């Protein structure tokens, strides 16, 4: 099991779900967003309340839920989602041997308490803040991730993290919260900063109003957009020295946002001055350099702040959010009941990310099998209603970490696990690049031909299937003599489940025809590693 | 190597030609072209600095114009090679659109549709690939990602070749893995895919299966060698230009020679908001060298007759020169080059006004352009597909074939 974080507080089991009130009021509909509205209406409840809302959603969608997922498949799913890798066979054995009735909750709590989970969350959050863009300088990316990791280890709430990111100032090493402002706000790109802040923290798409009134929301005008830009109008972000990892972010006492005039360069509007405003509502600023603090207050207090984070987290765990796209949430449509209930809990729990993850991962919705009887249409209808688990491709980091689990079979020391794989820096870079580089190629999550070729013939996979050595396949062959036992161990290592009878027979026939040579086992492992079952979470 | 289907089609065409007593130009134009190369000018090329110069006008900037092989047609001075070949190509100077954001504009110029929520339109690459269902190679995008296959499905997704130099990465089996071992891996993998797909949400699994099968097909394809431009002579490399774009054009030519139906070649750097003239000048020279060599080689091999070559980008750029010496996004006017595949050559379609502030003659909208390309490439422009949410999506929405060109 992953190492435990010292002094960790257990995620609180507080579910402020409003069974009756959640679907009543048209939140965000018509009236301007109220900072205090969300916490005020929250009522603590139990996980049962969340499940009741989920079941109500299934009834409304007219679907029968898929059966409950079995224990081993649950552990694999949660491990990929929370730690970014498949479980080791030792973890699987320990979990299945746990006689406690609440062993799922205990396993989830162990994962949430681990540094490995904080690291994984920091990786995901870095991507959210800085984007997937390959051109973000590595020191900025690494620094942001290291800073976030510490914040998540300390269990700081998402509101505190957001506040620090939005108000970061002074001369800061790359290990700091300034990565966001620096990545998006260089060369005084205040419009990009405003647009990215709204996207990241509110799930709102406002940047099209840079050039014209919002097409989907006529109430959000171009002037309102520049009112948001005005919060950053006094912010300067630049490296302290050329090529330096040190960043200086300052707020000056002067500087205004202006409306663009015809013929203005996109980043240098010269029209009338626009004061800071929050979706068109004027905002009082207490000091000449206080604009970003006011923005952070408005951001964190907005109902969309929690809603956007919860929706995004749900989308990470189910492959799709309650509202899609997660970066363009409507402000004036009432949100679905489950989303709103979870958002209220999130606020009531001081924006505790682990408590949110725990609530969702232990919910009935997350606990559905990915397989169920029925026509393709009925399967898609269930998946769309979160009543059957989706099949989600895993990302490059999860592939690398999971290959390391396979190649490291025989050890449970994470530092040793797949150490040889991790030394292959060039091959790792190629894999990350090939997976980051599929822009447009795989809207459907089916991957790209270069990825498929790499996973069949690439250096990392060749290393992971090697039968020589003390780890991985070598360990499996050394520990078991009987071909059937070897097949069981191999399938269990890769899929976190025993083989079916038909699978075992098919693989044994292949091995027999090849005289049970080690090379035949390598071929079996290669087939397993390029299969959808290994390369997806399900 | 031609596949059976191609042989059949070409065989019939030859018989048809023989029966009709001749194979003239108009008949050739009705046979769909066999391939398409799109040179995509990333960031939006300035028409003022390429195919629609306005020297001496307040909006013209320092760019000079030169005469071409076509009377009255002038190009920017940085395109001497294309000027000398202007009688073999056509220019549309009156393309007009409304998308001024890069991502949205690229989507429009690669699918023919403005982006709409909930639908992913197929790129031209996938539409052309779909016309050749039995081919053992996918469409190829060189240097920059093309457009995804959307509704057409992952089997027709473009293969992205980031680096045109050197062979395709990871396309040969690991050392020691012979045909028999590969066959064992493949047979077991197929059985695992089938088992896993049963009872589960299908799209991601079926798509992954298709893509992996595509990869395995490619490994066995005799066309694989076409990906390696190191087999070309130094003289040829030099003629295309000693840069990434030159290498990309050379690779495109090799792929089309080998039967790849669609190649997208990206040339990045055209988003010239600042210091525009020095940058566009260098880019135009790069474009001129690579594209001229490509047209020459296709013509010499006879492939130009059945290969459509198109050069376009995100959008045009503003008549106004901004304070930083650059031009900004201008979707209202841009120029597009077309050549080969029976496209009438030496033709200019449309015109902008003397200062290039608006289209003055024969406005051409993106659907007109796509309908023309679809016509030439044998893509059914009126085919209607259902989106996953049950919305009917027509391959090309409206528009008319540009009769001046075909």
pLDDT tens, residue by residue, B80-138: 999 999 999 999 999 999 999 898 999 999 999 998 877 889 999 999 999 998 899 99
**Predicted TM-score (pTM) of this structure:** 0.85
Say whether B184 and A446 touch across the interface (CB within 8 A): no
Distance from CA of B209 to the nearest CA of A (A): 8
Residue B258, classified by CB atoms within 10 Å of its CB into exposed (0-12), middle (13-18) or buried (19+), is middle
Among all chains, which residue has been given the structure tokens 């070729």? A453
Identify which of B145, B206, B218 has the shortest CB distance to residue A439: B145
Q: Does some domain include residue B28?
A: yes
Say whether B208 and A443 touch across the interface (CB within 8 A): no
Of B167 and B180, which is predicted with more confidence?
B180
Mutate to test the interface with B, among A131, A442, A446 (most CBs of B within 10 A): A446
A-chain CB neighbours of B195 within 8 Å are 500, 502-503
Range from A292-296, A356-360, B16-20, B332-336 carrying the lowest mean pLDDT:
B16-20
B-chain CB neighbours of A520 within 8 Å are 184
Evaluate if residue B6 carries a pLDDT over 60.
no
Identify which of B146, B159, B200 has the shortest CB distance to residue A371: B200
Tally of structural domains, chain B: 1
Q: In Å, how far from its chain's centre is CA B306?
A: 14
Q: Does some domain include residue B117?
A: yes
Question: How far is Cα A434 from Cα B162, in angstroms, rounded to an integer?
Answer: 10
Phi, psi at residue B348, to the nearest 5°? -115, 130
Q: Does some domain include residue B220?
A: no
Find out whether the peptide bond into A325 is cis, omega within 30 degrees of 0.
yes
Q: Does some domain include residue B207?
A: no
- Mean of all residue pLDDT scores within chain B: 90
Average pLDDT, integer, range B364-369: 98
Identify any residues that bridge with B352 across adjacent strands, giving them in sequence order.
Answer: B359
> Which of A31-35's residues contact partners 24+ apart within 8 Å by CB, and which partners?
A32/A279, A32/A281, A33/A278, A33/A279, A33/A302, A33/A303, A33/A304, A33/A331, A34/A303, A35/A297, A35/A298, A35/A301, A35/A302
Average pLDDT, integer, range B315-323: 94
Please list the ranges in chain A whose pLDDT falls under 50: 1-4, 6-44, 440-442
Continuous segment of H or E residues that includes residue B19: helix B4-19
Residue of A nearest to B202 (CA): A376
The tokens for A455 are 């996973």
Say whether B147 and A440 touch across the interface (CB within 8 A): yes
Distance from CA of B333 to the nearest CA of A (A): 16
Q: Is the ipTM of this complex over 0.90?
A: no
Q: Does some domain include residue B168?
A: no
Residue B192, classified by CB atoms within 10 Å of its CB into exposed (0-12), middle (13-18) or buried (19+), is buried
Cβ(A535)–Cβ(B208) under 8 Å? yes
The answer to whether residue A46 neighbours chain B at the CB level (below 8 Å) is: no
Evaluate if residue B374 carries a pLDDT over 90.
yes
CA-to-CA separations, A354 to A81, A95, A111, A146, A389, in angstroms, rounded: 12, 20, 10, 18, 21
The tokens for A392 are 């989600």
Four-residue CA torsion sign, A40, A43, A49, A52: negative
Say whether A532 and B323 touch across the interface (CB within 8 A): no
B-chain CB neighbours of A519 within 8 Å are 176, 181
Mutate to test the interface with B, among A327, A452, A507 (most CBs of B within 10 A): A452
> Three-class SS of residue B316?
strand
Continuous segment of H or E residues that includes residue B95: strand B89-96
Continuous segment of H or E residues that includes residue B277: helix B276-301
Q: Helix (H) and strand (E) counts for chain A?
A: 26, 9
> Which of A436-439's residues contact partners 24+ apart within 8 Å by CB, and which partners?
A436/A132, A436/A134, A436/A396, A437/A134, A437/B145, A437/B160, A437/B162, A438/B145, A438/B160, A439/B145
Q: In Å, how far from its chain's centre is CA B347?
A: 20
Q: Does some domain include residue B191?
A: no
- pLDDT score of A15: 40
The tokens for B116 are 């709409």
Domain around B72: 19-151+236-394
Evaluate if residue B28 carries a pLDDT over 60.
no
Portion 519-538 of A in contact with B at CB < 8 A: 519-520, 523-524, 526-528, 530-533, 535-536, 538
- pLDDT score of B25: 41
First to last CA, chain A: 22
β-pairing, B89-96 with B334-339? Answer: antiparallel
Four-residue CA torsion sign, A471, A477, A481, A483: positive
Number of residues that make up chain A:
538
Question: How far is Cα A162 from Cα A165, in angstroms, rounded to an integer?
Answer: 5
Portion 5-34 of A in contact with B at CB < 8 A: none
Q: Does some domain include residue B244?
A: yes
Confidence of residue B18 (pLDDT cuts 50, 70, 90): very low
Say whether A266 and B328 touch across the interface (CB within 8 A): yes
Say whether B211 and A438 touch across the interface (CB within 8 A): no
Confidence of residue B39 (pLDDT cuts 50, 70, 90): very high
Q: Does some domain include residue B7?
A: no
Q: In Å, how far from its chain's centre is CA A252?
A: 35
Number of residues that make up chain B:
406
Alpha helices (runs of H) in A171-290, residue ranges in sequence order: 179-185, 190-202, 222-229
Of B336 and B275, which is predicted with more confidence?
B336
Four-residue CA torsion sign, A212, A217, A218, A224: negative
Identify which of B147, B158, B188 has the shortest CB distance to residue A524: B188
Give the number of other CB atoms < 10 A from CB of residue A5. 18
Q: In Å, how far from its chain's centre is CA B370?
A: 12
- pLDDT score of A358: 96
User: What CATH number corresponds to the domain at position B255?
Assistant: 3.40.720.10
Q: Where are the beta strands (DSSP E) in B254-366?
A: 262-267, 307-313, 316-317, 329-330, 334-339, 347-349, 351-352, 359-361, 364-365
The tokens for A293 are 């603090």
- pLDDT score of B66: 98
Among all chains, which residue has been given the structure tokens 């790849």? B260
| Angle, alpha carbons B318-B324-B326 (nearest 5°) | 30
- pLDDT score of B11: 37
β-pairing, B307-313 with B334-339? Answer: antiparallel
- pLDDT score of A132: 66
Interior/surface letters A281-310, b for 16+ CB within 10 angstroms, e for the rest: eebebeeebbbbbbbbbbbbbbbbbbbbbb
- pLDDT score of B275: 85
């Amino acid at each position: 099991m992953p190492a435990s974080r010292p002094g960790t507080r257990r995620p609180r089991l507080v579910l402020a779900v409003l069974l009756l009130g959640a679907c009543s009021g048209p939140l965000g509909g018509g009236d301007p967003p109220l900072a205090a509205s969300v916490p005020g209406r929250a009522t603590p409840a139990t996980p049962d309340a969340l499940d009741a809302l989920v079941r109500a959603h299934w009834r409304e969608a007219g679907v029968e839920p898929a059966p409950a997922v079995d224990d081993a498949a649950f552990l694999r799913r949660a491990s990929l989602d929370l730690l970014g890798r498949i479980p080791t066979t030792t973890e699987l054995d320990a979990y299945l041997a746990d006689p406690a009735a609440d062993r799922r909750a205990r396993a989830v709590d162990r994962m949430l308490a681990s540094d490995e989970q904080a690291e994984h969350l920091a990786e995901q959050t870095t991507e959210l803040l800085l984007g997937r863009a390959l051109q973000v300088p590595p020191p900025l990316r690494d620094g942001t991730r290291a800073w976030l990791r510490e914040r998540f280890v300390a269990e700081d709430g998402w509101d505190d993290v957001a506040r620090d990111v939005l108000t970061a100032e002074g001369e800061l090493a790359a290990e700091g919260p300034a990565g966001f402002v620096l990545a998006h706000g260089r060369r005084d790109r205040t419009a990009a900063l405003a647009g990215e802040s709204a996207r990241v923290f509110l799930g709102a798409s406002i940047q099209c109003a840079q050039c014209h009134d919002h097409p989907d929301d006529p109430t959000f005008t171009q002037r309102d957009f520049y009112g948001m830009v005005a919060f950053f109008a006094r912010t300067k972000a630049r490296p302290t020295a050329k090529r330096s990892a040190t960043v200086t972010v300052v707020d000056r006492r002067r500087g205004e946002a202006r409306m663009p005039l015809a013929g203005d360069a996109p980043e240098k509007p010269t029209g009338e001055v626009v004061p800071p405003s929050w979706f068109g509502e004027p905002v009082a600023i207490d000091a000449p350099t206080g604009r970003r603090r006011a923005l952070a207050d408005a951001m964190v207090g907005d109902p969309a702040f929690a809603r956007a984070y919860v929706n995004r987290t749900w989308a990470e765990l189910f492959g799709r959010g309650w509202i899609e796209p997660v970066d363009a949430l409507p402000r004036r449509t009432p949100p679905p009941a489950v989303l709103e209930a979870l958002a209220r809990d999130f606020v009531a729990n001081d924006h505790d990310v682990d408590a949110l993850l725990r609530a969702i991962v232990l919910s009935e919705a997350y606990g559905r099998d990915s397989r169920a009887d029925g026509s393709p249409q009925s399967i898609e209808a269930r998946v769309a209603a979160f009543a059957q688990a989706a099949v989600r491709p895993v990302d490059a980091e999860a592939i690398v970490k999971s290959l390391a689990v396979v190649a490291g079979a025989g050890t449970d020391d994470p530092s040793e696990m797949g150490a040889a794989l991790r030394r292959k820096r060039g091959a790792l870079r190629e894999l990350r690049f090939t997976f980051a580089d599929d822009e447009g190629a795989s809207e459907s999550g089916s991957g790209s031909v270069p990825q498929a070729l790499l996973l069949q013939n690439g250096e990392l996979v060749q290393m992971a299937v090697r039968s020589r050595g003390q780890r991985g396949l070598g360990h499996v062959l050394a520990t078991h003599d009987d071909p059937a036992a070897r097949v069981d161990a191999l399938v269990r290592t890769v899929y976190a489940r025993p083989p079916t009878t038909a699978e075992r027979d098919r693989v044994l026939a292949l091995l027999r025809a090849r005289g049970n040579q080690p090379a035949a086992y390598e071929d079996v492992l290669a087939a397993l590693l390029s299969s959808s079952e290994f390369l997806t979470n399900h | 190597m031609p596949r059976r289907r191609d042989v059949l089609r070409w065989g019939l065409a030859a018989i048809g030609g023989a029966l009709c007593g001749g194979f003239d130009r108009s008949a050739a134009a009705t046979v769909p072209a066999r391939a398409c190369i799109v040179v995509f000018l990333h960031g939006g090329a300035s028409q003022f600095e390429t195919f629609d110069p306005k020297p001496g006008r307040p909006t013209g900037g320092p760019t000079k114009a030169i005469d071409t092989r076509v009377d009255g047609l002038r190009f920017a001075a940085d395109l001497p090679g294309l000027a000398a070949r202007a009688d073999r190509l056509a220019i549309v100077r009156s393309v007009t659109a409304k998308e001024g954001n890069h991502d949205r504009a690229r989507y429009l110029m690669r699918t023919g549709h403005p982006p709409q929520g909930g639908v992913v339109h197929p790129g031209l690459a996938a539409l052309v690939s779909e016309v050749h269902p039995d081919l053992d190679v996918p469409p190829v995008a060189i240097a920059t990602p093309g457009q995804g296959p959307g509704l057409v499905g992952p089997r027709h997704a473009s293969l992205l070749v980031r680096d045109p130099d050197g062979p395709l990465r990871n396309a040969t089996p690991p050392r020691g893995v012979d045909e028999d071992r590969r066959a064992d891996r493949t047979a077991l993998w197929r059985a695992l895919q089938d088992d896993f797909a049963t009872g589960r949400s299908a799209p991601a699994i079926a798509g992954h299966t298709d893509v992996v099968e595509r990869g395995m097909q490619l490994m066995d394809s005799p066309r694989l060698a076409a990906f390696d431009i190191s087999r070309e002579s130094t003289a040829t490399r030099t003629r295309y230009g000693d840069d990434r774009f030159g290498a990309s054009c050379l690779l495109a030519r090799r792929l089309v020679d080998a039967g790849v139906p669609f190649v997208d070649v990206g040339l990045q750097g055209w988003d010239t908001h600042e210091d525009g003239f020095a940058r566009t000048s260098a880019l135009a020279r790069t474009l001129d060298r690579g594209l001229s060599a490509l047209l020459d080689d296709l013509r010499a091999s006879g492939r130009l007759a059945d290969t459509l070559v198109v050069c376009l980008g995100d959008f045009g750029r503003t008549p106004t020169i901004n304070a930083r010496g650059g031009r900004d996004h201008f979707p209202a006017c841009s120029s597009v080059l077309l050549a080969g595949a029976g496209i009438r050559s030496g033709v200019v379609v449309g015109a902008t006004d003397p200062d290039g502030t608006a289209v003055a003659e024969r406005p051409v909208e993106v659907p007109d352009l796509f309908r023309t390309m679809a016509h030439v490439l044998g893509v059914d422009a009126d085919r209607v597909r259902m989106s996953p949410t049950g919305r009917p999506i027509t391959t090309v929405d409206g528009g008319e074939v540009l009769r001046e060109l075909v």
